[in-house]
Structure 1
Amino acid sequence: MPSVTRRAAVTGLFALSATAVALEGVIPRLAMAGQDGPADKALNEYLEKCWQEDLARSPEQRTRMGLPGPHDRWTLPDEGFQQLSLRIAAEQLQGLSAFDLEALSPTAQVSHKLFGQALRRQLDFYRWRHHLYAVSHLGGAHTEIPSFLIGYHAVNSAADARDYVRRLEGAGQVMDIAGENMRRQAGKGVLPPAFCFGRITESARNVIAGAPFEASAGKDNPLLADLKEKVGKLSIPTAEKQAIIRAGTRAMTDSLLPAYQRFLATVAEMADRQKDSNGVWSLPDGADFYRTQIMVHTGLDLTADEIHAIGLSETARLHAELREAMAAMDFAGSVQDFFQHLRTEPSIRFPDSAEGRQEYLATATAYIEEMGARLPEFFGALPKARVVVKPVEAYRENATPSAFYEPSSPDGARPGVFYANLSDMSVQTRHDLQALCFHEALPGHHMQIAIAQETQGLPTFRKYAWDTAYGEGWAMYTERMAKDYGFYKSPLNEAGRIVSELFRAGRLVVDTGIHAKQWTREQAVAWMGENTANPLADNANEIDRYFVWPGQALGYKIGMNKILELREKARAALGDRFDIRGFHDTVLMNGAVTLPILEEVVDGWIEGRRNAA
């Protein structure tokens, strides 16, 4: 997820149609091998029971999965909910301890270890529950409510539409809890950095702009427009459609609007109390908290100093690699000169027009289609879900990165989406778009997430698990994998791949700089400006993201390096018996795992190949 960009001045441009990208070729049945003996069966039944317990407490996840309704409630993450979650995790861990690890098949052992790790992490992290900001400029209930309803709440029946209305009616309670959590955190000395509050306010106000919130508005609010569009497609009497839309409109004005106004008052109150913008070192027990975040997002026992050193080393290596690409382009000058060229050269930017936005979408689609046509060379398992390219909706442009991925449904009916934030075309550049498409769509996040969801034989919790270093590491790995198989045909696109990796290497330096070495915001922005090619304004937005999401930015490069290390380890161990398709399937068909468990899985695959030879 690159940077948050500015809100578009012209919102009507985003009626652009999505372009679908189908996966060509024969798609094999995705299935995990296992003993399926009594021990495995008992464990899987227990894991499914735990999953269903958790799913019952997450109405949003049921909707995302496309499960039967009703879909009329929200998770209410107040203190009581968090305390209940802690008790359930402790009970589930106690139940898990009854299973003998040695009696399980290798696949079931991975499930046991992953579930146990997740539960222990949840229990250990309870003490830090107030340190992760309840609301920041990156998100919170104020943006998640409309994004969820518009993006995930399908309306295939009148019952679905009435559920949508009930969710609008209940959203005020979610907003009030967000405000309460902000106040509770502030009472414990935890407030987001000062720079967040203006952006939080702007995002919240955008949600309650337009009809029916503003009497003189000439345009429907995105929520009202979404409800009208979804209800309009139903095969029900017109009078029933009108009644549902009237009820939804009342819910927006009578419930949602006052809740947002209360939320904005809370944000203003918190803004008056926070005048500084510091890393988490400034929070109570901030150093311990950051160590926890490093483990959460990398899965490895690394110190901030070690990660900082890796970042500096990788930055120097990539600068040298970039000089080779610059020479291929006949570019005379320093690395910093080339950075300035990338930041200012008009020819590598898409035009700031409707045509330019269409060209961006078409170019991204072409890159994804090219990769899609060759996927059978590199993967034995392919997902059935499509991936589509879409522009970010206008209402959330100022609260999303310049590009990101949203998953497909488990049955493949809802495609995965590569979203491009086209509000600020100055940051949408040609040189790095190819690598970005590989990262977000194919063979990056879409392959990874869709295959996990579709693989048979995995416990349900593994289909929907997420691990930062695995997930973002895989997406970064695919950028490099594409180089290994000749996809970057122009020196400019190869330079784009390098600066993309360089950007992630720089994150290791600045994230640890901000949160462990007490760098100021200005120091971090200046370092990124000197050592990476990102636009300077984009760097500032990135730095702001690291301030409020400590440790998350570390997972990309740490995870990529580990997957590359494991690939070369397997290649060296197997020689002619190494199979890139088998390696990739091994990495992907286990779902999201921590890096230590991924190494165990790959080691098992290596041993299996040796024994089969």
Structure 2
Amino acid sequence: MTVNMIGRGKIMDVPVSSDGWVGQGRSRRTGAAQRAMRLATAATLSIAGIHGLPAIAAIAQAAASNPQAEAETARINAWFDAKYEEQLGFSPMTRSYGGDRKDNDKFDDMSEAGMARVLEWKRKSVEELKSKFDRSKLTAEGKLSYDLWIEQYDMAAAAHKFRRSEYVITSHFGPQTMLTRFLLSVHTVSEPSDMDGYIARISGISRALLQNLERAKINAAAGARPPQFSFDGVIEQSTALSSGAPFGGEGDNAVWTDAQAEIAGLVKAGKIDQAKADRYKAAVRKALIEDWGPAHRQIVAWAQAERPKADVVATGVGKNPNGKAYYAEMLANSTTTDLTAEQIHQIGLDEVARIKGEMEAIKQKVGFEGSLQDFFKYVRDDDRFYYPNTDEGRQAYIDAATAHLARMKTRLPEFFNILPKADVIVKRVEPYREQAGAPQHYLMASADGTRPGVFYAHLIDMKAMPIPQMEVIAYHEGNPGHHMQFSIARELTNVPKFRTALYYNATQEGWGLYTEKLAKEMGGYQDPYSDFGRLTTEIWRAIRLVVDTGLHSKGWTEQQAVDYFRENSPAAEGQIRAEVRRYILSPGQATGYKIGMIKIEELRRRAETTLGPRFDIKGFHDTILASGQMSLPLLERRVNEWIESRKAS
């Protein structure tokens, strides 16, 4: 899982049978987006010339034989880069995620009016694109960029129609924690000017919090009100973020602690003297007391007032006004297919049954006597499968996950030609946003590789962090999963810049889940219980198909979803409850993992069957990763083109 998850094909700001059923799905798009599905995309051109990929080099050479198309594509790429620079002007956060320090004293406008301005800019940019460029005169790679750009507007416009249906401030994905993490983890301070920006952003985030609060009020009045448990979490989080020094109460506020550490670092580096440090501390204190604290207290007051109006028995969005249409759009958004809720539900049921068969085999392998349910209980409850709930136990978890990633890093060159420059580290989630059983996640490295990627783990309750699942989750979030995926995309230099920051839930999370199984080929899971942990996370994603659709289209309650999850998985109780609540608050998102994995595995089988000895696992993986993210239909076209190029070679 990654931290920016909303929006099919969104530019980042701020993780079976081979009958081809996924391939029959269609991305719910119009205009150029539909043309993109028909595009015989040769996106492999973006890695042309890499040693060991003669077929791709041959395609590049063929493309070069059309100098007019190459010239026109160079011209449109320059236009894309100029337009993307304009677009970044709307989102200083996106710049910071990419390691760009321009505008690092500014913050995104998160008001409805601000969102409308961005949408209108996108509409006009599409008009300009169509008037200035003839798509038919571009190379295949240029056509793909053309279609992707238009798709950004199509999807933004579709999402805008459902802006009243969104849960804006929640306990799991709320701006009160996400924006705080941005300040503490993404905004880098190495020069005095960076500290100036840090202080300005304390006030900028405070403004953004109030803008989100206004949207939350509007949506709640329209009937999009999350259940009571979410308000409880919001109250707890924003109370913590407006408590401690300099506000009063025990301890130090998380931002106050971080700011003092950043200032001390500047002093130690000789960048400022103590007098300047004291002025910085005073400015931080002022911004916190005058802007930060009041914004969080307003969120707390609103949540306390709204809580009695919210559902005690939590369920999905289907009961909300326009909820069924909203959920259908969220499924299309998450999976980039036209699969219905009923179809996805049945796929989930079928996958759960299949994976349970593999789990039964491991149960027999370790010599456990009893039913699979008995084995679930054993793995869920026995102390041998957990580190102690102490600081030593937490450090042991971090150390073990780090060791797994280090070993996997040595195997990457056998399966990939392209490797990321940035490293990945394992960290505990910060106290202000840590939740027992909440999902581990990944924070992107900077594009230049100087800021490492981070695999975050919630370690407040070690009974919610089973050891058998540690290895597989490390691979999913780190290498060869999300860290590899995002770092390669962000480090690309031979596609328009906007394509290095695209996000498609099914492609992104499908890759993460695919690499969990790939890691077994790469030598992971030597312990059968770790392999059982791998199956635990795979069935977890299959259960999501059942539970997410059950909640949002069949009216399941939270407890019904928890009961189904527990019956079919050895996941810890804390994990299960946290997962189900995540699905309630983010409808549809959790369905992209398994649907995406199924498609990637289907494409690999097709390539292996078609190419036989010509199949190249490195080339296949580079084909998936080396042009940035795209919808599943476009990914299928891309792999098909790679298959044809290999055959021709």
Relative to the length of structure 1, the TM-score reads 0.92
SS across alignment from 1:398: coil
Q: 1:533 aligns with which of 553, 564, 570?
A: 570
Q: 1:196 aligns with which of 220, 226, 230?
A: 230
Contact 2:111 2:208 in 1 (8 A): no
Return the alpha-carbon distance in structure 1 between the equivalents of residues 215 and 292 of structure 2: 18
Distance change (3 Å), C-alpha of 1:2 and 1:467:
closer
Distance change (3 Å), C-alpha of 1:400 and 1:162:
farther
Write the deviation string for residues 234-268 of structure 1: whole angstroms up to 9, x where unpaired: 12111001101111011111221122112211112
> Which residue pairs with 2:206 in the alignment?
172
Given residue 255 of structure 1, which amino acid in structure 2 is its aligned partner? D
Write the deviation string for residues 7-63 of structure 1: whole angstroms up to 9, x where unpaired: xxxxxxxxxxxxxxxxxxxx9899995757122112212222221121001011122
Task: State yes or no: 1:416 paired with 2:453.
Answer: yes
Task: State yes or no: 1:571 paired with 2:608.
Answer: yes
1:487 offset after TM fit, Å?
2.0
Q: 1:247 aligns with which of 283, 287, 291?
A: 283
> Which residue pairs with 2:545 in the alignment?
508
> Which residue pairs with 1:88 in the alignment?
121
Write the deviation string for residues 333-384 of structure 1: whole angstroms up to 9, x where unpaired: 2121111111101001111122211211111111111110011100000011
SS across alignment from 2:189: coil
Return the alpha-carbon distance in structure 2 between the equivalents of residues 120 and 268 of structure 1: 37
> Residues 131-530 of structure 1 correspond to what in structure 2 (within 5 A)?
131-214=165-248, 216-217=249-250, 219-234=251-266, 235-276=271-312, 277-398=314-435, 401-530=438-567
SS across alignment from 1:224: helix
Task: State yes or no: 1:115 paired with 2:149.
Answer: yes
Contact 1:385 1:450 in 2 (8 A): yes
Query: How many pairs are equivalent?
Result: 587
SS across alignment from 2:233: helix
Given residue 279 of structure 2, which amino acid in structure 1 is its aligned partner? A
Distance change (3 Å), C-alpha of 1:510 and 1:306:
same
Distance change (3 Å), C-alpha of 1:271 and 1:28:
farther
Contact 1:382 1:447 in 2 (8 A): yes
SS across alignment from 2:434: helix
SS across alignment from 1:205: helix
Given residue 204 of structure 1, which amino acid in structure 2 is its aligned partner? S
Return the alpha-carbon distance in structure 2 between the equivalents of residues 538 and 603 of structure 1: 39
> Residues 14-29 of structure 1 correspond to what in structure 2 (within 5 A)?
none
SS across alignment from 1:388: strand
Return the alpha-carbon distance in structure 1 between the equivalents of residues 427 and 628 of structure 2: 26
Write the deviation string for residues 394-416 of structure 1: whole angstroms up to 9, x where unpaired: 12213993411101000000001
Task: State yes or no: 1:544 paired with 2:578.
Answer: no
Task: State yes or no: 1:104 paired with 2:104.
Answer: no
Given residue 278 of structure 2, which amino acid in structure 1 is its aligned partner? Q
Return the alpha-carbon distance in structure 2 between the equivalents of residues 127 and 400 of structure 1: 33
> Which residue pairs with 1:47 in the alignment?
80
Distance change (3 Å), C-alpha of 1:549 and 1:29:
farther
SS across alignment from 2:102: coil
> Which residue pairs with 2:34 in the alignment?
none
> Which residue pairs with 2:13 in the alignment?
none
SS across alignment from 1:336: helix
Relative to the length of structure 2, the TM-score reads 0.87
1:537 offset after TM fit, Å?
2.8
Distance change (3 Å), C-alpha of 1:402 and 1:514:
closer
Return the alpha-carbon distance in structure 2 between the equivalents of residues 379 and 188 of structure 1: 49
Gaps of 5+ in 2: 4-49
1:232 offset after TM fit, Å?
1.1
Given residue 95 of structure 2, which amino acid in structure 1 is its aligned partner? R
Contact 2:168 2:216 in 1 (8 A): yes
1:567 offset after TM fit, Å?
0.5
Given residue 495 of structure 2, which amino acid in structure 1 is its aligned partner? L
Contact 1:70 1:160 in 2 (8 A): no
> Which residue pairs with 2:111 in the alignment?
78
SS across alignment from 1:432: helix
Write the deviation string for residues 113-166 of structure 1: whole angstroms up to 9, x where unpaired: 222222111112211012121111113221123211110111121111111111
SS across alignment from 2:173: coil
1:603 offset after TM fit, Å?
0.6
Given residue 94 of structure 2, which amino acid in structure 1 is its aligned partner? Q
1:109 offset after TM fit, Å?
2.1
Given residue 445 of structure 1, which amino acid in structure 2 is its aligned partner? H
Given residue 90 of structure 2, which amino acid in structure 1 is its aligned partner? R
1:588 offset after TM fit, Å?
0.5
Contact 1:93 1:120 in 2 (8 A): no
1:102 offset after TM fit, Å?
2.8
* CA-atom RMSD in angstroms: 2.0
Relative to structure 2, which stretch is displaced further, 114-123 or 542-551? 114-123
Return the alpha-carbon distance in structure 2 between the equivalents of residues 502 and 351 of structure 1: 26
Distance change (3 Å), C-alpha of 1:279 and 1:289:
same
Contact 1:503 1:533 in 2 (8 A): no
Task: State yes or no: 1:582 paired with 2:619.
Answer: yes
Distance change (3 Å), C-alpha of 1:212 and 1:370:
same
Distance change (3 Å), C-alpha of 1:538 and 1:190:
same
Return the alpha-carbon distance in structure 2 between the equivalents of residues 485 and 249 of structure 1: 50
1:581 offset after TM fit, Å?
0.3
1:570 offset after TM fit, Å?
0.5
Relative to structure 2, which stretch is displaced further, 555-564 or 246-255? 246-255
Return the alpha-carbon distance in structure 2 between the equivalents of residues 503 and 170 of structure 1: 38
Return the alpha-carbon distance in structure 1 between the equivalents of residues 258 and 493 of structure 2: 34
Given residue 86 of structure 1, which amino acid in structure 2 is its aligned partner? L
Contact 1:212 1:249 in 2 (8 A): yes
> Which residue pairs with 1:6 in the alignment?
none
1:419 offset after TM fit, Å?
1.1
Distance change (3 Å), C-alpha of 1:580 and 1:29:
closer
